Structure 1
Amino acid sequence: MTSPLIDRLTTELGWPRLETEAALAEHLATPGTHCLFVPGDPVRNLESNDAAVILPELRMVFQHAFDCAVVGDAIEADLRERSGVLKTPSLIFYREGRCLGGIPKVRDWADYLTRIQTILGLQSA
């Protein structure tokens, strides 16, 4: 299930929608830091739409220090379990194929800035 605000990330902003484990692995194998947006069900969780509006703004504030992709329903549960970021919506950051950390639920702006700055400062193990 998607919403127009979540669909906008892929249609207007051109972010990939990762629907399979193979697509996820391929995306994470590319160089750089990746933010995976796990929206959850936007019908049951109204915060999903809020996060879909916030994430592009965060990416601009961090001067495109990370790319973004939307995680599809089919692989969402496995990704959340593997990363340990269980609640949605969530932003899960990866570099060199390794999970750096995640931010579950919608946060206030200052919390996002602090958390993302910390995550981006981490080196992959």
Structure 2
Amino acid sequence: MPDILLTPPLQRLQTQFGMPVLDETAAAAPGVVLLFLPSHARVHLETPDIAAVLPDLAALCAARLNGTSAAVPVSGAIATAALEARLVRETGDLSLPALVLLNQGEVLGNIARMRDWGDYATRLATMLAPLTSQPESAS
């Protein structure tokens, strides 16, 4: 089976948008990371579609977090086959391809398969809600 990381949509995420390939969630950049699980085990028709909107979804998350008291960096990343398999096992029943939302390397939630924009916006807002409703520290 060909290496999915070498496909043009995933290469574009790496070269044009600087998204790293992660083998552990602990290796994620600080802040919020949208981790793409592209379905390494089998070719999936939705993988290029999610790859195409991933940079826009990261921008949506950044805009959602913009109003918080502390700036939270938001980025994207791609899971290796090993990390993808581990996250699928840990979630119990995650259909691929999928996005996993991380905060400081910890899983906040996931969105399986390709969705329409409104569904992504609603689901991401729900997952980001704990970060946007944190009380400001006392001066």
Same fold (TM over 0.5): yes
Question: Counterpart of 1:92?
Answer: 100
Contact 2:38 2:97 in 1 (8 A): yes
TM-score (norm 2): 0.74
Cα 1:98–1:39 change in 2 (3 A) is same
Gaps of 5+ in 1: none
Contact 2:34 2:58 in 1 (8 A): no
Report SS of the residue matched to 1:122.
helix
Question: Counterpart of 2:54?
Answer: 55
TM-score (norm 1): 0.82
Question: Counterpart of 1:32?
Answer: 31
Distance apart, 1:36 and its partner CA: 0.6
Deviations 1:11-62 (A, max 9, x none): 11111111x33xx3222xx531111110114962110110000111122233
Give the Cα–Cα distance (whole angstroms) in 2 for the partners of residues 75 and 42 of structure 1: 12
List aligned pairs for 1:1-125, cutoff 5 A: 1-2=3-4, 3-18=7-22, 20-21=23-24, 24-27=25-28, 30-41=29-40, 44-63=43-62, 65=65, 66-84=74-92, 86-123=94-131
Contact 1:42 1:49 in 2 (8 A): no
| Bigger Rg, structure 1 or 2 | 2
Distance apart, 1:93 and its partner CA: 0.7
Cα 1:116–1:63 change in 2 (3 A) is same
Give the Cα–Cα distance (whole angstroms) in 2 for the partners of residues 59 and 77 of structure 1: 23
Identity %: 36
Gaps of 5+ in 2: 66-73, 132-139
How many pairs are equivalent? 118
Give the Cα–Cα distance (whole angstroms) in 2 for the partners of residues 86 and 10 of structure 1: 24
Question: Counterpart of 2:135?
Answer: none
